[in-house]
Amino acid sequence: MSTFNVPTRAEVSEKNQGIFDSLEKKVGFVPNLYATYAYSNNALENYLNLSGAKTSLTAKEKETVNLAVSEVNNCIYCLSAHTAIGKMNGFSDEEILELRAGKASFDSKLDALAALAKNITEKRGATDKNVVENFLNAGYTKENLIDTIVLVGDKTISNYIHSTTKVPVDFPVAQAL
């Protein structure tokens, strides 16, 4: 049950109305979670800038992190959205379930990334040294490590907004692990 109504275009600032219009053109709709950011005059723009910022991670790597973090944080909204986005990036249903569990038997490099994202989230940043070493030994760089930590923070923001607001999921609902 939602504790917040999803604001409509008419209920948000003029600045956010422009962002809604842009999302409509780009995505085809305004996702409920993004609309919820628009309760703030600045949060939606700030979040979209953060999530769309340049990174050393590929689209598939970003989805690996998004899925692992959202599973640890038990965010059904983000799990559902990133399951759909993961499929658009070429992951199978089985691979998505593995990534959510913090592993990837189908790709050793993504396995190290998924384990790292899960560990960072579970340990609130007090990441296990062996997990970091495994990540670096898998071929990732220190730049990739920092970009992964930033992405964990990015996804955690959305996870927390949904956990607090409980706005309705407007993606096909992800299956339970």
The domain of 26 spans 9-51
pTM: 0.96
Number of structural domains, the chain? 2
The predicted pLDDT at position 76 comes to 98
Q: Are residues 94 and 37 in the same domain?
A: no
Q: Are residues 106 and 151 in the same domain?
A: yes
Flag whether 4 is in a domain.
no
The Cβ of residue 129 has, within 10 Å, a number of other Cβ atoms equal to 7
Q: Are residues 36 and 65 in the same domain?
A: no
Q: Are the CB atoms for 159 and 70 separated by under 8 Å? A: yes
Q: Are the CB atoms for 131 and 42 separated by under 8 Å? A: no
For 57, which DSSP code?
A: S
Q: Are residues 71 and 131 in the same domain?
A: yes
The predicted pLDDT at position 1 comes to 55
In this predicted structure, the answer to whether residue 75 has a pLDDT above a threshold of 60 is: yes
